[in-house]
Amino acid sequence: MQGIKKEASKHLQARKTEINSAFVMTKLYN
């Protein structure tokens, strides 16, 4: 159970980073 939670939070962090990068990119290029 603990391992699954760790994996899930890792994926969540990656997703957040992805969204933030995309957001910054669109701000830079617009």
User: Can you give the pLDDT at residue 1?
Assistant: 73
pLDDT at 18 > cutoff 80: yes
pLDDT at 7 > cutoff 90: yes
* Percentage, residues of the chain above pLDDT 70: 97
Q: What is the mean pLDDT of residues 2-28?
A: 93
Q: Where are the domains of the chain?
A: 1-30
Whole-angstrom CA distances from 26 to 3, 5, 14, 18, 21 are 35, 32, 18, 12, 9
pTM confidence score? 0.58
